[in-house]
Amino acid sequence: MAEDVRPVYLRLRDVITASILDGAYRDGDMLPSVRAFAATQGANPLTVAKAYQSFQDDGIVTVRRGVGMFLADGAAARVRAVERARFLAEVWPPVAQQMRRLGLTAGDVMLDA
C-alpha cells in the first residue's frame, strides 16, 4: 500500500473521523484534550490543535472555554455525509474500474455481515 504523504494534521483528522463514524464519539461527546490525543498518536500538540481547529472551522466541534472540545449537534451525520460523498467521488471509481478489469461483481466482493 502506498505511504500516506498528506500532512499529519489531515491524517489525525482521519483518525478522529473514523472514531466518529465508528460511534466512539457521538454528538455532544467531549473529544480528548489536545495533549492527551497528541500523546496517544505520538504527534505534536500543535499539529493536533490544527486538526481540531479544522473541525471547529467546519462546525463539527464546539469549544467550551476551560472545559474542552465537544462534538456539535448533528456532527456525526454531517461527517457521515461528507465521507460518503468523498468515498463515492474519490475511492469508489478506481475500485469499480479494477472490479471491471477483473470481472468481479458486487456479489463476489460482498462481505458477511
Strand partners, 70: 30, 62
Cell triple for 57: 472551522
pLDDT of residue 2: 62
Domain ranges of the chain: 8-106
8-106 CATH choice from 3.30.1330.20, 1.10.10.10, 3.30.530.20, 1.10.1200.10: 1.10.10.10
pLDDT-derived band at 19 (thresholds 50, 70, 90) equals very high
State the sign of the Cα–Cα–Cα–Cα dihedral 75, 92, 19, 40: negative
Cell triple for 45: 500538540
State the sign of the Cα–Cα–Cα–Cα dihedral 20, 21, 27, 29: negative
72-106 residue pLDDT tens: 999 999 999 999 999 999 999 999 999 999 999 98
Strand partners, 24: none
Question: How far is 71 from 21, CA to CA, in rounded Å?
Answer: 12
